Structure 1
């Protein structure tokens, strides 16, 4: 729309190289589909970011079978040009594809004439070239004139070099003092760190004591509750016992026995009377007597039962008494425990008071240390001010001396110089010794009374003035430096704090001269040669302590014969054995120290290699490169070293290496346990230096759903695999040129054998050695470092595992088929289609800058955003993405890892979807073209994807069923993601 206002995105001039290429990579799919290389290459040639050879390779290479592949390869070539390539590409899009430029950058194409003043069309190209050649000739003439002026300027600058060297010498003195103060500050910081550690220990002990006291109080409370319950139960039992006792006494006291006796007597009387009665009366009485006897037997039985009950109650009473005694004993024990816990609590409280006193003392010590540091800094500032004043005084004295030198004779000059020297020494006296770095001059020469040596010393010092030195002074200084080179190393600034100069005590006739005397000295009776100074250690070993890292300096010739190492990137590289009598043994290197980094000099260039997280293979190579003086940074980790040795002895592990890589080529199985791997397999490398093998790694295949090692074996290491990859690419290219049709059929029937992954900027990676000042290093002795703009093929790519906790989004490819199947798949349970959002102009600009817009719709301001995907994922269902490949990297930045499914297409499989394609206004040719253009872009993704074979389904229903099964299987797998190599 003509009146539509395009939101202004970020200014391209203010964006850096990484931001520009990140913007282009986010829209790589859109650019590959919409840009024709033949249209934009003339402008890129004009901008000098592409050469004629690049143009022929892009437009004529047989491996680039379609326009999308050519455009993608053109982007890779432009990436090597850095920011210039990105700016030229965006300006070409602004000219030839203004709509695409707006979609990529979020800015409206500029129509100002000044913006396009340097752009040329095809018809004006020849005229532009003529003008350009003429302008370049004029520039060449101007450059030659400028070169003449610069040569004159160089002559004047050479005169200033002498002054700068003198200032540099003084700055070195200040730097040495600064380093000493920094070391002292580091020691104070270590003390403060120790105090903080002690404070943390006190806090931990205090917390543990409080927790123990709380546990004791809770236990005491529970014991009191138990005692109360036992007392209550005891009272209840006593009450019941009293009741039972009363009942038993009542039963015993019942007057039943006298009544029975009275009845027996009455019955006997009646019986005696009955004997006198008639027989009928006797029968009645006998019957009554029998009934009485029966009733008496019953009463006797009841009495026996009462007695048994009484005995049972007595036994229960005795049991309750015993139980009462046990409970009383338990109560006494609990009382003793309570007293003991009270004593412990009292002791803990006293210890807490002591800890508080120690803490207060630590705070006081910390305050004193801080006050000391502040005082030292103040003293340092005072010394700096004094140094500045002394320098000004020295400069003024030197200027005075130079003015007098032209008017006075040589004798007067010597007298003036001695006076100036004594005055300088008078001013330098209060300063510290490290603030004044003097030359290594023989002290014996300073005490000599010979005027010739005084004159030579005065001339040597006089040559350090602001004036250009004389040729004789330069010659003497060069000889002095040559004599010092046998005692000092290339990094003298790094080691001079550990050495002092002392005079030699040998015979004079065997010593080499340090300074040459004048021609007239031969007539004197004094010897012509002086004893040279030599370096003596001011402490036993050249060891620097920086925090918990030791920096040791020694001669590292054949370093791998002096010491052996074990470990890897997982555990660290440790010193395992040190050869007795070697330089490493002399400086005190012992077993169990981790090698953090190594510094050495090669080809007059200082190099540093970081080995803190390097593999064993890298560490062996890095230590093998050391020649001459080296500096090893070591960290004591004896416990970790012993744990590693224990694991090695128990065969739990074979080394300290452990990292995961994605294989970018197929490798067949070979002899000696060589592992057969396929392209896109994930390997767990556990040993980069297996015993009995050369240029091999020991690795294991990884379970797709769990982090478990499966089949193990050896694979070629990175550099050998890189050579195999290059050879495989050459064979494929030769076969393609020889018989393209046969190779195309074979490629369709077989699995992918090579995945081309390249990088133009090598970052930190366990597959490379980190060398300061160089980009890459090869294990092979004949390999050279890659240039800055070189594109490096990678046979292995470092990957990291991710475990998505919720349902992952689904992306179906090719895009034409995905638009047809997205709505069908979203109709199933557990799936939902991602819906676009309508954003305002300001909100659209804000989200575009935050990379929250995944893709823009063709109509209006509708766009698919990151929030729409997260909203569906929070429901616990799969979000179906109707988008292209450009959204993958944006989702990865937000820790969202979609399931990417690519449905392979052939002419036969496309005919199965003819009706569906026609219903959506598409054709079979469009589907096949989209499939061919998007398939090469899949290898650019930083994650794995699943491919569905064209002959594995017969219709749309079976394809959807297969897709649902694949999604269910992919959801359970681990997501392996590569780092951003660009």
Structure 2
């Protein structure tokens, strides 16, 4: 302690380094309690400080508080050496004796002989006289201000009476407003009752219509049956009439035949009489001649009779045919006549029903018009009431604004001197910065010693990039009023809370120059309050606090970060108004806002996180959540916004600051972070490109690297999941084009060159994608290929996937660290059976047991998803989830004899098997000849099986390991290689395909 409290002689005898060491030990107290403006005149007289130094210490804009000014003053004096330290201690004797005592341990004594070498006595006297004059001037000014305040206090008391009357009118208006709210509520409930009654009537009317419809349907069915009976009766009548006519025709033909037989008999008798007569020779000649003529004429008549008979037969046939046709025509006529009558009656019934439906429709239209008229009338009344509410609210806010201006007038005169100590020795109440509770104790002393103008400057700077702690700043006063009245209608609240809300938001929207819009304090009048307003706390900015009030904390000084707000505005060329940063890991944040733009007018600021964008236009329409989208997706999406849009945003300054800090510290370049499996081999041709192989796992950290359409990725260590070498890779659309080109090149090769040996490096992995379940990575953006017209038909996540190809160059994956031994699956299955017999002899491997299940047990297990593989369905033998899990619990690798299509069923139960692929060619198939013969399989059969199962490997949703064909020579060496591969795979992370979000 002797060193820390030396005498004055010892101080002058100390060297420069020890003297400044003593000063530095008390630097904390010095910078907190010393006022530099009081020390600089003495230091100038002591010639350790010139005028430029004094100006820089007292008036430099980079020093915003006393602590910084005193610290800079000490640094300047330190450059002056020992003389600067001694002069500073001498100045403390006059202006800060307690600090001088703290440093030296002595009471200050003013001895002109002890510092006459540094300053002349006349100059010292002049300095002291100047200091006294300045103090006297300050005292006179303080007295003048006190008198002015007293006069102004009398004026305020006179105005209090006027404000009391205004307050009474305000309360009357509020009572009227509440009454109107109650009337609106009752009318609204009456409207609801009327709606319920109308609904009941409509339900009853609908049920009556249904009953009527059923009756009409029954009547129609009975009418159809009646029509069918009538038609059948007419058909029977027509058949009987036809039979009667045919009977009459038969009787007529029989009578005609009897008449013809009588005529023939008469002719025969005449012939006999003629033969019995005798004639002379001349008569005989004449008779013979007549006979010959008669014979000739008879022959002619016979011929004519034959021809007539033929004609008669033909006519009879035609007559019969015509009769048949006539009967058919008559039958059809009767049938058509019956159908006509039937259809005529049906049309009459339908017309009657149409008439009834038209009447019912007219009644429904009239009822609808009546209901619409009632509704429009109620809406008109509601609008008029709402308009009155708006007008009254506007009047209330105007009156409160006048009240606040009146109360703010005396305080504004004393605002410029708020940082100086008052005459009662207490520090004035000032606005404190919103800091974390854990930082409150560490930095409270700095805030308490800062001057008020400096605090106001810092507060105004912070205000430009922030939101109101309770809600975003409204775009206009009408919007604020509408929001308040809607809250009143939806959830009536107490008078005090509604007034507090109006006070706070009105001060924000009225455009007054206040120092902070967050209003984290309430000012409660503890003196003579306004009548009837004792229960209503009045909200003021801290700079407008009345002297008779007490400042209390209304709520913790923290912004509400979880509140999501939807802003609708004209977003023409939205990315020209704002710039964004972030990604799928951190979210999308607004980084910069163009001054004077629509986004700036909507109070969008840096640190605002965009949660959702809703855009609707003639060309494109979408509504997308941006919380998990990549930066590339978000930029491509917001580029398409060119018109009226809705943005859902929230303030997330903590996440934004952390992201900006990480970018500035080069920890990362964006907010993207996801893992992919590469399905093709790519050579890094250009500088900075990453060379990758098929099935490599990459960690993508930036989807818009350096503003280009490429991704920045790191190769992942499969054992530790750490990022290793890094570089750029093509984005999704570019990689898809490379994959298509690579496949085309492979197909153009000859069959000989296309045959790949087992040890050849795999170039591609063919993975197709269902467009209805598009992968999120497919939304890579390429501005040259964009077709906005296709946005509306695309899947929700793949906004700009223009390509019709379903080939997937990158597959989204997620890591999983296995804890228990993983099951093992060999490909092909035939070789797997051989290896299972070998490995099951070891203690760490065991074949999966097969369970026998009845039909009922099988159905129950299948519904729960416990059935993994059906070994022999006809014998009810199955491999279940419980069997595999039991072996894993014993820390044993389960050897599975299942097909590759069962892997997805295992993944659904969170069991991820090790897939070991053993390439089988014609050469090494001979090495397994004896083992294959024991299984009853030939070399040709196993080669065909290998082709089918290797094709299924492309569809497996995870990585697999392959054994080199030349690393084994027989079954034993193959078993050793497989065991080593299984041990190695157990150490790795499992990379599972991630389902699209």
The TM-score with structure 1 as length reference comes to: 0.45
- Higher Cα radius of gyration: 2
- Tell me the TM-score normalised to structure 2 length: 0.44
Q: Which has the higher contact order (CA 8 A, sep 6+)?
A: 1
